[in-house]
Chains A and B, each alone.
Chain A
Amino acid sequence: MNILVLVKQVPDPEALIEIAASGKDLNVEPKFAVNLFDEFALEEALRIREKHGGTVKAISLGGPKAIEALRTAIAMGADEAVLIEDEAFAAGDGYNTALALSRVLKKETFDIVLTGRQAIDADRGEVPQMVAQFLGLPHVGVVVKLDISDGKAVAESSLEGAKEIVEVALPAVFTAQKGLNEPRVPLITGVMKAMKVQIPRIAVEDLGLTKDMAAPENSKTRIVRYLPPKKRPAVQIIPGEAREAAAEAVRILIDVERVI
């Protein structure tokens, strides 16, 4: 089984995010992590390899710092990694991200592509399905269980309110959801290996793309500005003993807010 895992480096979930330059930019506290859902994808790839043999290769699109996410993948047990290094594409929209990733995948031979169901920075949840479509491959989204045998996969997809058990011939793309597995913590030997390994970098030009394709003015969609979340007014504490406060809360919800 040759398994490719698409990995994104994202700001740590606790990182402070501030709007800068009057909404034109973001200041992100420089604390980074592997996208949480991609960790489930990596772990699943390693488990499939343990069971069926083969190789696990981690692929990322990002700036120079994204190499750290790939080192984490190697530390966890991935055999190889490659970085498409391009700040413009990394900051681009879902279409361009998927385009660049699919171009790399076209150069590989593989049975399985695994990645997280969504990256926790842009929260788009578009790229895996777009990659699958660019490659003309089927996908199963939001997977919580994955069994591989005889050149096909049986995946349990967790849709709203229901679980769907889906069979698909390989190669195919799968997006990992929480619940698929418990990602391992890298062993010290893995970390040592990851520190030493040379991770190749690919430029978008090597993929038949040009940097200006990802420029905002040439993109299908572009971020115009960043906005703060709507501020809630300061909390109004409802005073009184439990029964009294509960009755007053119910009155407010029914008579003032009219939500129940």
Chain B
Amino acid sequence: MDKVLVFVETKGDEPRKASLELLCEAEKLAASGRFSVEAVCFGTMSDALREKLLASARKLIRFNDPELAVYSPEGYARALAGYAAETGARMIVAGATGTGRDFLPRVAIMLGTGMVSDVTGANWFDEPMTFVRPMFGGKVFAEVAFPASPVVVTARPNSFAMDIPEGIKGEYEERTAGSLAGAIHTRVVRVEETKGDAVDLTEADLIVAGGRGLKATENFKLVEELAAAIGGTVGATRSVVDAKWRDQADQIGKSGKTVSPKLYIGAGISGAIHHIMGMDTSKVVLAVNRDPNAIIFNYANYGIVGDLFEVLPAMTEEIRKRKERG
């Protein structure tokens, strides 16, 4: 049986969503009988987190080296590639999160193989395996064949369905990678949390984004209120970030983040190609703009031609009403 390693990222007591999605996908591979799947975790792990992971993975390996308590590309790559080499893994997969995209390329080179980054689809049973990934900011997708072995993949968050399997009670094993201290040449001096506990844009299911049409930074409260009402995350366009109305971390688009939420609501956004490139893989798009000819309507499922200063508060109120009714 071919072994698949799923690198699982965690935050506090929670696995990251991109990792859970891959565990769900990997379970389908395990269920086929052709692959055996192991989830691989680094750093500290609470009992609560372990129980959650053991409900989604048939086997969970945690490396307990103290050097893995904080992220370092060299340490993480060494531990993951070392384990992959030792067990003859056929495939190593991780979420295309900041961390996953940062160190998996090193894993690939350590294993003498290539990689496909940021895939949005996979044909695991093809020979060779093939993957679909966006290029040119999503203007084109490429189907990529991976004849080399092992296969190293990062998958874009929200690309695979979160079908949490039932009745899984995985086994747990702790291991030590060893000899990491000399391999790590970066040192994290400190970490500044800028976003608190809010779901990051790249993993958000629901996003409300605002553009120039909001006219001023303080008007973003309309966007924030709608986002809060639906439990979503706030995004912004480049011009809004350049005008310092919002932080760089909120920027969606070519020079910002790429998002694939279930629902994207864009208000006061004209639809510059730079922005579209960051959101065009969203499932459902609702655009609100006064200009019936705004380009964003070409990339939307639903449109409201109207004044966002009336439409957004009305939507927020309507959602609150519906929630009260239950």
Contacts and interface: CB of A to CB of B under 8 A. Distances in A.
10 contacts: A17-B139, A123-B134, A165-B188, A166-B186, A166-B189, A168-B185, A220-B146, A227-B140, A235-B301, A247-B314
Given A98-B109, A160-B98, A168-B186, A26 B140 contact: yes
A107 B263 CA distance: 50
A226 B303 CA distance: 30
A124 interface: yes
A237 B138 contact: no
Interface string A214-240: 000001111111111100110111100
A159 B200 CA distance: 10
A224 B143 CA distance: 5
Interface in B116-130: 116-118, 130
A169 B185 CA distance: 7
B136 A235 contact: no
A164 B148 CA distance: 34
A36 B254 contact: yes
B192 interface: yes
Contacts of B140: 17, 19, 26, 226-229
A259 B207 CA distance: 11
Contact of B73 (A138, A160, A250, A253): A138
Contacts of B301: 232-233, 235-236, 257
Q: Would you call the interface of chain A mostly helix, strand, loop, or mixed?
A: mixed
A133 B110 contact: yes
Given A123-B135, A168-B187, A229-B280, A220 B194 contact: no
Given A241-B306, A246-B311, 4 more contacts: A123-B117, A123-B135, A161-B198, A235-B287
A95 B113 CA distance: 7
B187 A221 contact: no
A238 B307 CA distance: 13
Q: Would you call the interface of chain B mostly helix, strand, loop, or mixed?
A: mixed
Interface residues of B, number: 98
B115 A221 contact: yes
Contact of B141 (A160, A219, A228, A237): A228
B146 A124 contact: no
Nearest to B130: A224
Contacts of A158: 248-249
B186 A249 contact: no
Contacts of A94: 105, 114-115, 117
Rank and list the top 9 A-B pairs by shortest CB-CB distance, nearest first.
A220-B114, A246-B314, A242-B310, A138-B185, A220-B148, A129-B105, A95-B114, A161-B195, A133-B109
Contact of B303 (A120, A222, A235): A235
Interface stretch (A58-66, A77-85, A139-147): A139-147
B284 A253 contact: yes
Contacts of B143: 223-227
A178 interface: yes
Contacts of A219: 114
Contacts, number: 257
A254 interface: yes
Given A94-B115, A120-B254, A237-B303, A130 B314 contact: no
B161 interface: no
Interface string B180-194: 000011111111111
Contacts of A222: 144-145, 147
A37 B137 CA distance: 14
A162 B70 CA distance: 13
Which of A154, A158, A246, A259 has the most C-beta atoms of chain B within 10 angstroms of its own C-beta? A246
Interface in A103-142: 120-130, 132-134, 137-142
A185 interface: no
B319 A250 contact: yes
Interface string B57-98: 000000000000001011001000000000000000000011
B155 to A, nearest CB: 14
A140 B74 CA distance: 10
A13 interface: yes
Nearest to A244: B314
Nearest to B277: A13
A252 interface: yes
B136 A126 contact: no
B191 A165 contact: yes
Interface stretch (B42-50, B162-170, B212-220, B292-300): B292-300
Given A129-B73, A163-B192, A163-B194, A253 B263 contact: yes
